[in-house]
Amino acid sequence: MTVKAITKLLDRDPAQARELLQNLETQSQSAVNDIRRLVYDLRPPALDDLGLVAALYEGTKPYEQSGLHLTVTTHPAQLPPLPAAVEVAVYRIAQEALTNVARHAQASRCTVQIDLHPTRQLALTITDNGRGLSPDHPTGIGLNSMRERAEELGGSFSIEPLASGGTQVTAQLPLAV
């Protein structure tokens, strides 16, 4: 029902009009929440508020509180401005990889490393000391979404068990997107 129809109903049946307005308010609030969620998914506010590295540090706090020791390092130490799409991909891939470490790896340590290469490539590497991957590990939604994020930018994604135990997730992203 439209606002115009509710306005006409006000004189004839104020109680029903009020009920319809309350429903409309609920629907409007739901739409606003959906839009906020979509905007957040497009570009997390932490990237604009804090920058990529600080946003990654901030995102590691919940994991550290659960006992996982996390390190975030970059080379060079001060990253230059990055394309927005690369920042979002790095942030989301790191977020998903850390979630997987916390849920599945039984790790005590995890490192998030960002390296800029002279070839105009960014390498994101997340390494943990957990139980590693089984040879027949299933490819779930999280792994597929990380791969898709990297490939959408013309990059690559890999996940490998480490000989010493643990797992390494690597995303190579071109800086010219």
Indicate the pTM of the whole model.
0.76
User: How would residue 66 be classed by pLDDT, with cut points 50, 70 and 90?
Assistant: confident
Ranges of H-type helices in the chain = 3-12, 14-42, 45-50, 52-65, 84-100, 141-152
The mean pLDDT value of the chain amounts to 88
**102 and 164 belong to one structural domain:** yes
Torsion-angle region of 36 (φ positive above 0: left; ψ -120 to 50: alpha; else: beta): alpha
How buried is 167 (Cβ within 10 angstroms: 0-12 exposed, 13-18 middle, 19+ buried)? Answer: buried
Q: Which domain holds residue 166?
A: 45-174
Rounded Cα distance, 170 and 93, in Å: 9
Query: Taking a C-beta distance cutoff of 8 angstroms, is the pair 125, 141 a contact?
Result: no
User: How would residue 29 be classed by pLDDT, with cut points 50, 70 and 90?
Assistant: confident
What is the per-residue pLDDT for 35?
A: 66
**57 and 144 belong to one structural domain:** yes
**37 and 65 belong to one structural domain:** no
Instruction: Provide Rg for the chain, Cα atoms.
Output: 22
**149 and 75 belong to one structural domain:** yes
Question: Would the pLDDT of 16 be above 90?
Answer: no
User: In 3-state terms, what secondary structure has residue 1?
Assistant: coil
**89 and 34 belong to one structural domain:** no
**19 and 88 belong to one structural domain:** no
Considering only residues 8 and 78, tell me which one the structure prediction assigns the higher pLDDT.
78
Total domains in the chain come to 2
Considering only residues 51 and 32, tell me which one the structure prediction assigns the higher pLDDT.
51
